[in-house]
Chain A
């Protein structure tokens, strides 16, 4: 254990209270082994520690980074306004790493995080949920789409973890501050039903659980809404694909009226630029995307983004006319106007800021950092000051009842970069009962 004493020193640097540092040090000197002790000293000091885990490298780097920026802005805002219960707030954000479950353990057991936010991938969200449950610390998912994570009805949909085909994966201490795939695809299916009716629809999405689930849910909601589409093609280019032209051409060969897509971040940029090259946007009536609407995507595309297609997101900066959203935008701009990122938050911004601010209110309301108390307070809790308007966390599903936005791409949008943005933004909301009725017979759970 050559490294133990070094680790001890390092962990001492991170915890703010000198008392903890010395106590740990003395104990370490006494036993000659230090590692065990740093982990036991959290909570009692003068800070509230928030742990964050996001993809800060690879395809989703821009996405994870903008979530981290929004979280840091919220922490800064809280500290400027007296902290939480008078305590300073510190945030540690880590990359998923090659073993996200162990990264989460490290955030809690080595960095003493009191509450957690994060995760940039549905697959990782589902696979780390048992670890989060075991750690017992409240976790707020800000960037995950899969409805399974907040589906609690194991009788109807099967337990995700103890059967080969179960899809209900809710764990008691996991909440979600963003709308999920079930909700997003409902918004798009509803828009199509209201504006187009039955059409020839093709699908393109990333080749993993998210892309597949988006397509399944879109079809199920369309059927529930009584729209009898003709599904002419479905293509799944691999995640981070450099070349999507074979799939784009295959879709075009089937002559669709509408193209439904579920690309995001780098994949959305690749799809739009290559689809534009292949003339896809001229040949079809409309294109929809689930979570591609993000400043980083539009600024990367410059003038390539076609106007008039419909893209949705969990959050769009100009979609909400309220003082809390303005406060968030002002804070974000003040912190990142000089940085090498767009000075407006991305599509995970609102719910990440909201998650941190929700924690503040909940912790102050229970008056302690007790994990169980925070969890039970969160069930049914309404956060009035969310940038997206008041948000309630459902007591059963732990899913935030937050609206999704669906807008039209345009170069007239008010954005601080050269590129497109969203205009004519519509918001969609849906309840569990409505969702159950629409999805009836599909075998898919509402997850809300």
Chain B
């Protein structure tokens, strides 16, 4: 775990330029891309936030969570429930008029993050008492427990026994499907999430993405982030310096979950459906893969990983033969990254330069 994150001041200008160019490209992209790719890009941006949030815990604090899918799922169900139950219950339609869809979505997103935070506080409190493989295992256990709760609709069953609701809460393995309709904002009407062509939602996503990435960047570059790295490098020493490492890890866990919840709350409306599969362990492997591919010791590594993972996955899906064996195709790629590049794709150019330098000597 030879961390080499700290950026040398002289590269900062370069990094800023790259970020500027990247953002500009993201603003222009939807006008150049077709509807399918527009939606794909929005999806990738959301996964970028998810992977970066995951990496707050993994790359920065040294805690490998194998259960981040649970935050995604909790946020997704919260969003679906807000649209299907909370909105109608409080009569958002009359309350907000033309912007009721927008209001429902905003309340849904806010609740998604809040509920995720509440869940993460409880689970995180228990999880951060453990380290390394035990931490990975306990997060895995919790996500599988939540999977069972959603898949067997335990909440719905309990409600039925108590005589409230209509004996379905999560709708079992079929999950919840919902759509967000028309917004009328000062006479300007648009469909918030037009499934076939989510132009409006792309820009909503881009704004949320930019704000979330900025906040995450500020977090890792603050004294708080430095303490994270200290814990990653040497927890005993960090303790000796007077840092309450357990408490600090707990707060990091909750922060990481909050942004993961934000990502879940954003993606589910785009996909129109939440299922228990998001809490299944294999979904929690996705941010791990993205981060490993992209590079865990760099802030933008997981984002690069999310781009690579989702687009390579899409590329494979375009060929029947590759698609039939996509796990194999993907496994080979992952193997190459793990074997030959220490810090993922984002570290590859640096590594290549060092290698060329060493050959030149």
Q: Which residues of A contact B (CB under 8 A)?
A: 1-3, 6-7, 10-11, 31, 33, 35-40, 95, 97-99, 101-102, 105-106, 108-110, 122-123, 126-127, 129-131, 134-136, 160-165, 207-209, 239
A39–B85 Cα distance when bound, in Å, is 37
A129–B273 Cα distance when bound, in Å, is 11
A2–B35 Cα distance when bound, in Å, is 18
Task: Judge whether A123 and B166 touch: CB under 8 Å.
Answer: no
Task: Judge whether A127 and B84 touch: CB under 8 Å.
Answer: no
Contacts of A37 in B (CB 8 A): 34
Nearest chain A CB to B232's CB is how many angstroms away?
32
Task: Judge whether B173 and A130 touch: CB under 8 Å.
Answer: no
Nearest chain A CB to B108's CB is how many angstroms away?
14
A163–B271 Cα distance when bound, in Å, is 18
Contacts of A123 in B (CB 8 A): 173-175
Task: Judge whether B168 and A165 touch: CB under 8 Å.
Answer: yes
B125 contacts the other chain (CB 8 A) = no
B182 contacts the other chain (CB 8 A) = no
Q: Contact residue range for chain B?
A: 35 or more
Tell me the B153-193 residues at the A interface (CB within 8 Å).
165-166, 168, 171-175, 177-179
Task: Judge whether B33 and A33 touch: CB under 8 Å.
Answer: yes
- Using known A-B contacts A97-B317, A161-B177, A209-B172, determine if residue A38 contacts B34 with beta carbons closer than 8 Å: yes
Q: Give the one of B36, B168, B171, B315 with max A CB within 10 A.
A: B36
Contact mask for chain B residues 265-299; partner A; CB cutoff 8 A; 1 contact, 0 none: 00000011101010000000000000000000000
Chain B residue at minimum C-beta to C-beta distance from A2:
B311
Task: Judge whether B178 and A36 touch: CB under 8 Å.
Answer: no
Nearest chain A CB to B270's CB is how many angstroms away?
10
Which residue in B34, B165, B178, B195 is a CB contact (below 8 Å) of A35? B34
Contacts of B311 in A (CB 8 A): 1-3
Nearest chain A CB to B117's CB is how many angstroms away?
25
Task: Judge whether B36 and A101 touch: CB under 8 Å.
Answer: no
Task: Judge whether B174 and A126 touch: CB under 8 Å.
Answer: yes
Chain A residue at minimum C-beta to C-beta distance from B172:
A208
Task: Judge whether B272 and A39 touch: CB under 8 Å.
Answer: no
Contacts of A134 in B (CB 8 A): 194-196
B88 contacts the other chain (CB 8 A) = yes
A6–B116 Cα distance when bound, in Å, is 40
A98–B317 Cα distance when bound, in Å, is 11
Task: Judge whether B33 and A99 touch: CB under 8 Å.
Answer: no
Nearest chain B CB to A172's CB is how many angstroms away?
14
Task: Judge whether B34 and A109 touch: CB under 8 Å.
Answer: yes
Task: Judge whether A110 and B36 touch: CB under 8 Å.
Answer: yes
Task: Judge whether B36 and A109 touch: CB under 8 Å.
Answer: yes
Task: Judge whether A36 and B272 touch: CB under 8 Å.
Answer: no
- Using known A-B contacts A3-B315, A98-B277, A130-B272, determine if residue A161 contacts B179 with beta carbons closer than 8 Å: yes
B32 contacts the other chain (CB 8 A) = yes
Contacts of A160 in B (CB 8 A): 177
Chain B residue at minimum C-beta to C-beta distance from A208:
B173
Contacts of A106 in B (CB 8 A): 36, 317
A36–B273 Cα distance when bound, in Å, is 26
> What are 16 A-B residue pairs whose CB atoms fall within 8 Å in the complex?
A7-B315, A36-B34, A37-B34, A38-B34, A101-B195, A101-B271, A106-B317, A123-B175, A126-B174, A127-B174, A127-B273, A131-B196, A136-B196, A162-B179, A208-B172, A208-B174
Task: Judge whether A162 and B84 touch: CB under 8 Å.
Answer: yes
Task: Judge whether B37 and A35 touch: CB under 8 Å.
Answer: yes
Contacts of B319 in A (CB 8 A): 10
Task: Judge whether B33 and A105 touch: CB under 8 Å.
Answer: no
A365–B194 Cα distance when bound, in Å, is 31
Task: Judge whether A130 and B179 touch: CB under 8 Å.
Answer: yes
A105–B314 Cα distance when bound, in Å, is 13
Q: Give the one of A97, A122, A131 with max B CB within 10 A.
A: A131
A162–B323 Cα distance when bound, in Å, is 35
Nearest chain B CB to A56's CB is how many angstroms away?
9
Tell me the B51-105 residues at the A interface (CB within 8 Å).
84-85, 88
Task: Judge whether A35 and B33 touch: CB under 8 Å.
Answer: yes
A2–B168 Cα distance when bound, in Å, is 45
Q: Give the one of B88, B173, B177, B315 with max A CB within 10 A.
A: B177
Nearest chain B CB to A106's CB is how many angstroms away?
7
A164–B315 Cα distance when bound, in Å, is 37
- Using known A-B contacts A131-B195, A209-B174, determine if residue A40 contacts B34 with beta carbons closer than 8 Å: yes
A40–B179 Cα distance when bound, in Å, is 25
Which residue in B84, B85, B177, B271 is a CB contact (below 8 Å) of A102? B271
Nearest chain B CB to A119's CB is how many angstroms away?
13
Nearest chain B CB to A26's CB is how many angstroms away?
16
Nearest chain A CB to B275's CB is how many angstroms away?
8
Task: Judge whether B271 and A239 touch: CB under 8 Å.
Answer: no
Contacts of B195 in A (CB 8 A): 101, 105, 130-131, 134-135
Which residue in B173, B196, B273, B318 is a CB contact (below 8 Å) of A105? B196
A122–B195 Cα distance when bound, in Å, is 20
Chain A residue at minimum C-beta to C-beta distance from B282:
A98
Q: Give the one of A11, A38, A164 with max B CB within 10 A.
A: A164
B245 contacts the other chain (CB 8 A) = no
Chain B residue at minimum C-beta to C-beta distance from A123:
B174
A38–B33 Cα distance when bound, in Å, is 10
Tell me the B122-165 residues at the A interface (CB within 8 Å).
165
B205 contacts the other chain (CB 8 A) = no
Which residue in B32, B36, B37, B317 is a CB contact (below 8 Å) of A31? B32
Give 4 closest A-B pairs by Cβ, nearest first: A123-B174, A36-B34, A134-B195, A109-B36
Contacts of A6 in B (CB 8 A): 315
Task: Judge whether A33 and B32 touch: CB under 8 Å.
Answer: yes
Task: Judge whether B84 and A130 touch: CB under 8 Å.
Answer: no
A160–B175 Cα distance when bound, in Å, is 12
Task: Judge whether B36 and A105 touch: CB under 8 Å.
Answer: yes
Task: Judge whether B35 and A109 touch: CB under 8 Å.
Answer: yes
Nearest chain B CB to A128's CB is how many angstroms away?
8
Contacts of A97 in B (CB 8 A): 317
A164–B318 Cα distance when bound, in Å, is 36
- Using known A-B contacts A36-B33, A136-B196, determine if residue A127 contacts B175 with beta carbons closer than 8 Å: yes
A3–B271 Cα distance when bound, in Å, is 23
Task: Judge whether A164 and B271 touch: CB under 8 Å.
Answer: no
B343 contacts the other chain (CB 8 A) = no
Contacts of A163 in B (CB 8 A): 84, 88
Tell me the B171-227 residues at the A interface (CB within 8 Å).
171-175, 177-179, 194-196
Nearest chain B CB to A445's CB is how many angstroms away?
15
Task: Judge whether B33 and A135 touch: CB under 8 Å.
Answer: no
